Chains A and B, each alone.
Chain A
Amino acid sequence: MTSQATQAEPIRALVLCGYGLNCDHETAHALELAGARADRVHINSLIDGSVSLDDYRIMVFVGGFSWGDDHGAGVIQAVRMKGRMGDSLLDFVAAGKLVMGICNGFQVLVNLGLLPGFDGDYRRRTVALTYNDCGNFRDQWVHLRAETASPCVFTQGLTHLELPVRHGEGKFYASPEIIDRLGADGQIALKYAGADGSPAGGRFPNNPNGSVADIAGICDPTGRVFGLMPHPESFNHWTTHPDWTRICDRARREGRSVGDGPTPGTQMFINAVNYF
């Protein structure tokens, strides 16, 4: 599928698991489709040193309900990793490697302060993901617009795509100043949009959670740390798309074939692997 897949030395990717995380298997699968060698690693294996971050070039904070999300999604995982892993996360970022946080993982990144990472400060909590305005957990596919001007490594080449959201706390919130700065620096990598790619304008359900400025994902100023609420790892096969039977039927009638080539979800991981 990609040049990486055939390389002798695949890029190694670490996928966190344990403590109620639950998207680890499909995230590892998507990374392998992208040509990486992915290991599912328990948070405690990083903490007790039996696995070292140094062996990896991509680290993914996956979706799930770490510690049940009981005191703010991703908060306790951030507290544990901050307290028990010293500066190894900061060193990982400083070493020019890639960090991705999906859903619960995005929530962890903003609580760690790895995002938005203004001025190289990867410790400050300046943005938040809070309860959906709709008041409930919601599973739906959304249209997304990728910010072409963004330095985000993961969204390079993507313009308009669809992915599923599945969360109860995905409303991106920050002060107007912070939002302006994120926009100005091209750190708003993904925005919720309408079917035609036009801005969702805060309207439910195109913007499923009431996120300020339709923000679905942001990156740090370098573009190497990326967090998003939608689930790219879930769209790892064409038959995962909600309309796939309709798309295939139309293609057949038009004498086209579909389903070869990577899905937009997998493409994000390919971008990560190809970065190196």
Chain B
Amino acid sequence: MPHRLEITLRPDLLDAEGEGVRRKARDYFGLTLDRVRTVHVVTMDVDLNTEQLEALRCEVFTNPVTQISSYAPLDLPFDWCVWVGCRPGVRDNPGATAAEAMEDLLGVGLGPGEGVFTSRRYCIGGRDLTEADMRQIAAELLANDIIQQWRVFSARDWHGETGIGYILPKVMLNHTPTVTTIATESDAALQAVSDQRNLALNPADIPTIRSYFLDDRVRTERAAVGLCDPTDIELEYISQARSDHCNHNTFGGLFRYRETGVGDTEIIDSLFKTCIEAPTLALQKEKDWVVSVLWDNAGVGRFDADHHYVVTGETHNSPSNMEAYGGAITGIVGVYRDPLGTGRGSKLLMGSYGFCVGPRDYDGPLRPRLHPRRLLDGVIEGVRDGGNKSGIPTPFGQVLFHHGYLGKCLVFVTALGLMPAISAGEPTEQKKTSPGELVIMCGGRVGKDGIHGVTASSETYSENTPAGHVQIGDPYTQKKMHDFLLEARDRGLIRFVTDNGGGGLSSSVGESARFSGGCVVELDKIPLKYDGLDQWEIWISESQERMTVAVAPGDLDAFMALSARHAVESTVIGRYTDSGKLHITWKGTTCAYVDMDLLARGFPQWDFDAEWITPELRGLTEPVLGRPADLGGVLADMLARPNICSKEWIVRQYDHEVQGTSVIKPLVGKDRDVPSDGAVIRPVLKSCRGLAFSQALLPQYSAIDAFHMTACTIDEALRRLLAVGARLDEIGGVDNFCWPSIQYDPAANPDGKFKAAQLVRACKALRETCLAYGVPLLSGKDSMYVDGHLAGPYGETRKVSGPETLMFSATGIVEDVHRCTTSDVKAPGDGIYVIGTTADELGGSEYYEMFGYVGVHVPRVVPDAFIPLYRAVETAVVRGLVASVHGVYRGGLGIHLALCAMGGGLGMDVDLTRMVSAGALRDDTALFSESAGRFVVTVAPDRRKVFERLFGGLACARVGEVTDNGRLKVTGAAGRRIVDAGVSDLKACWQAPFGDLI
């Protein structure tokens, strides 16, 4: 007999959660709710007596000061009651900790088939609310039917004794695990199986797969272990490993690149090899601080003599697009396992986020699965809980709105870690597995969740995309594992560690076994969340919070004892061998037996036609736009545009200071509300050496040319680092490409060749720019298929493709954090300098976008011209010559002068005609051009001489002075005053759009 405990706040206490629901119902649906009270429900399907239940109620689930509770339904007044609970198999974190608490208090663990489940019911009061209103609130605000179920009760049909009844979202599979053999008599047959099982096998791979299993040697060897045709486990393993997500077939593909009108075709054999690997290896030779790149879960750079830092970036787009909260929390918690699984393990230092979504106020005809506003709420909360509950600061992040992300949103998550250069006497960045070592799975258990995640993310989102791979990350379980593994590392107990991400054990064991040359895995040893999973499901499940570790037999007892101390579940699931075979058994019977090098042999390379059409041939021109008379008005309105305006409400939800390392925070300035150029932390608390981090996103430029989009994005990330005080010589990069599908299809993807050409050009720019600036790519990932087929008003679907997007992350070393600088101007009388050359480069700019134009003069990056300036900025910062430093980014000088003034709460007098420019510029061009390579700095009078000597002969001009009159005054051509605005008024405009959000 299950027991259902209902808990709520005392009536006299404000119900902040209920208030949030009330506010959103008003803002999102225009519904007036008079009051909303939240009831937390804990349903215990456990055999407990009255005293035990009462002990749980009083000691654990009810705060005697603030809450009331009862095992009978609480008698709260309402007009409507909406209940929301998990669907079976969805991770219920509070349910899991409730079971832990029960065991702690009563010493009663969960028996077979027993469970503890949490849910909520919202008691809603309001006049003339209809059932339809409630269904909308339930479906579009409180619950997501992919992971949750909900019910609506009216006051009339509510029974005081029955309440919500007993809803137990148990997984009951009643299924006997079975290994299925797949017939391979023909390519067509195998293709049919692939379609029917959603294996997403590439048709081109099928002949290779068949010929392997038809090979005489292979058949003889398989016969010896009792196998003939391939088993479902083997095919699932191949499907996972060959998916674009795991194997990066696109970047490894063969591109035939040609420019329309230009005859000859350029063949590029693997963008990864030519544009990422080659330049990085070349730079690694020059730069001894590059410790480990291109093979592990994350890249490793030297922080100081005794420590290395680790960095990587990921995206979690497809899951977030379907279940924003679950997708995002799984994404951030997942990327945090990469540094933990790099070398023999790294401590997590910080994370960052990048959210690309459709317009928050979208009211067009298309119906994305989740409205951008709701989607953004969800990803914000997912990264918040994932980061905060992991105890990892989130000191940097960006949000970008663009219509193209209606089809599929982008959720970028980045993770940095720190490892000792040497642990237990060996270089920490090195690891390998050896025959005889044990394969151990640590952390969470295996369930049906996440199955076919990687194959689904390698597809365009459609109605048929399986929702099964949407999960809820569990930072609590992972934090325990993180602490445990680092202690095990320091005691020398870890030979190899990697995370279970895409592909689950199939990837982690498969990859780690390459070092030893084989493995035997006993699938029946793997701890499950519930019975009834097929063997292939256990093998590829992406259930979260798991790491795979190689441990020497002699260390097993110590490893297991430490695991128990940290309350982490660890299980020996097999051992590494040198048999050359991936060997999987179930209760002693072989169910998979394939050559370790199977994936390395003879699979056909993907190939693409890439056809570049220049902007001119595409008919792009500069717009015919007369000079606005009211440039002050333009500036005020640009400050209020979604991609420019303040997003403080997001930043403050993220703990950006835990670990006590914070030096440059995400918000700076007098009122601590202006975004910083970059983040700086002090990862080693005893040291004053700093680690700087920044990111940039400029997908708008792709509308003209993804080559310049890429170059400008990299340049911006670098300037962000220099602005806070990083050294140019030790900057590392991380490239995260998110691209629409580039495989040409006359019907499904008619512009595929052009999108492929954009990717080729972006990669060429990546190579050129990184080599020119000397920035090795420490890590990187790609996520293709940023397309969606959205339902329209007439039952039609429309394909919406995301703009070609590169998130570029950069890391840099700060030798002494006391030299770090911020963008806020510091004192009246300081000189204002614009460093760099401003040109007529409004193509793709925020200014043109505001008027609905694209233009064609996209900003160009000229490293040879920029580097001397960057060196000088570096010197000026190190020598303490500058009071403030800020890069000029999206929106141009107008926007960024305003931000510097807002940060300092001071005025600025600026004469734009004094700055270095390429030819005479019209006032609006001077104000809003987004030319790369520029900074705004302010210099105290007593530093002026030295500063100007340092910049002698460089593109740098004194353009004005910081004032105490609180006004931003800008003079343009012919001495005309083009802007004269109160800085506090400008700030009000900039804060208005999202100012009331907390």
Contact = CB atoms under 8 A, between A and B. Distances in A.
A72 B63 contact: yes
Contacts of A137: 384, 388, 653, 655
Contact of B16 (A69, A127, A131, A249): A131
Given A26-B659, A71-B101, A253-B827, A138 B653 contact: yes
Interface stretch (B207-215, B222-230, B665-673, B888-896): B665-673
A84 B107 CA distance: 11
A20 B820 contact: no
A70 B64 contact: no
Contacts of A68: 93-94, 97, 389, 474-476
B483 interface: yes
B17 A131 contact: yes
Contact of A25 (B9, B104, B659, B826): B659
Interface stretch (A89-97, A218-226, A239-247): A239-247
- At the interface, is chain B mostly helix, strand, loop or mixed? loop
A148 interface: no
Contacts of A111: 63
Q: Which of B94, B384, B662 has its CB near the most chain A CB atoms (within 10 A)?
A: B662
A83 B827 contact: no
B567 A22 contact: no
Contact of B665 (A83, A132, A242): A242
Contacts of A125: 63-65
B566 A22 contact: no
A128 B13 CA distance: 12
B105 interface: yes
Given A234-B662, A246-B826, A130 B66 contact: yes
A89 B940 CA distance: 56
B998 A25 contact: no
Interface string A1-42: 000000000000000011111110110011000000000001
A70 B17 contact: no
A166 B658 contact: yes
A259 B821 CA distance: 16
Interface string B447-483: 0000000000000000000000000001110011001
B657 A240 contact: yes
Contacts of A42: 565-566
Interface in A92-121: 111
Given A18-B566, A76-B101, A239-B663, A135 B19 contact: yes
Nearest to A245: B822
A52 interface: no
Given A68-B93, A135-B20, A79 B101 contact: yes
B608 interface: no
A63 B657 CA distance: 12
A126 interface: yes
B818 interface: yes
B916 interface: no
B60 interface: yes
Contacts of B824: 245-246
Contacts of B483: 17-18
B277 interface: no
Contacts, number: 193
B61 interface: yes
Contacts of B857: none
A75 B60 contact: yes
B827 to A, nearest CB: 7
A271 interface: no
A240 B660 contact: yes
Contacts of A79: 59-60, 101, 104-105
B686 interface: yes
A248 B818 contact: yes
Nearest to A72: B63
Given A67-B97, A71-B97, A246-B824, A139 B476 contact: no
B476 A65 contact: yes
B562 to A, nearest CB: 10
A161 to B, nearest CB: 16
Interface string A57-68: 000000111011
A158 interface: no
B145 interface: no
B1 interface: no
A134 B685 contact: no
Contacts of A63: 658
B516 to A, nearest CB: 32
A239 B818 contact: yes
Contact of B567 (A44, A71, A248): A44
B55 to A, nearest CB: 10
A140 interface: yes
A26 B659 CA distance: 6
A136 interface: yes
B367 interface: no
A233 interface: yes
Contacts of A248: 818
Given A19-B480, A242-B668, A249-B827, A26 B660 contact: yes
A185 to B, nearest CB: 18
Contact of A164 (B389, B657, B880): B657
Interface residues of A, number: 70
Contacts of A80: 104
A145 interface: no
A88 to B, nearest CB: 17
Contact of B686 (A22, A29, A132): A29
B817 interface: yes
Contact of B652 (A29, A75, A139): A139
Interface in B51-73: 59-61, 63-66
A167 to B, nearest CB: 9
A76 B685 CA distance: 31
Contact of A67 (B17, B100, B654): B100
A133 B93 CA distance: 24
A71 B61 contact: yes
Nearest to B725: A245
A39 to B, nearest CB: 13
B967 interface: no
Interface in B1-49: 9, 13-14, 16-17, 19-20
A53 interface: no
A203 interface: no
Interface in A230-268: 231, 233-237, 239-240, 242-243, 245-246, 248-250, 252-253, 259
Contact of A65 (B118, B391, B656, B822): B391
Interface string B373-394: 0000000000010001111000
B871 to A, nearest CB: 22
Interface in B640-660: 652-660
A134 B998 contact: yes
A99 to B, nearest CB: 20
B682 interface: yes
A210 B105 CA distance: 32
Contacts of A45: 565
Nearest to A76: B101
Contacts of B653: 136-139
Nearest to A42: B565
Contacts of A83: 104-105
Given A131-B17, A231-B660, A239-B818, 4 more contacts: A70-B97, A83-B105, A237-B682, A246-B824
Interface of A: 17-23, 25-26, 29-30, 42, 44-45, 63-65, 67-72, 75-76, 79-80, 83-84, 111, 125-128, 130-141, 164, 166, 173-175, 210, 231, 233-237, 239-240, 242-243, 245-246, 248-250, 252-253, 259
21 contacts: A18-B480, A20-B391, A21-B391, A22-B659, A68-B474, A70-B476, A71-B94, A75-B63, A80-B104, A133-B16, A136-B653, A139-B653, A173-B66, A174-B65, A210-B14, A235-B660, A237-B660, A242-B668, A243-B670, A245-B821, A249-B827
Closest 10 CB pairs of A and B: A22-B391, A26-B660, A128-B65, A135-B16, A68-B476, A70-B94, A70-B97, A65-B389, A29-B685, A245-B822
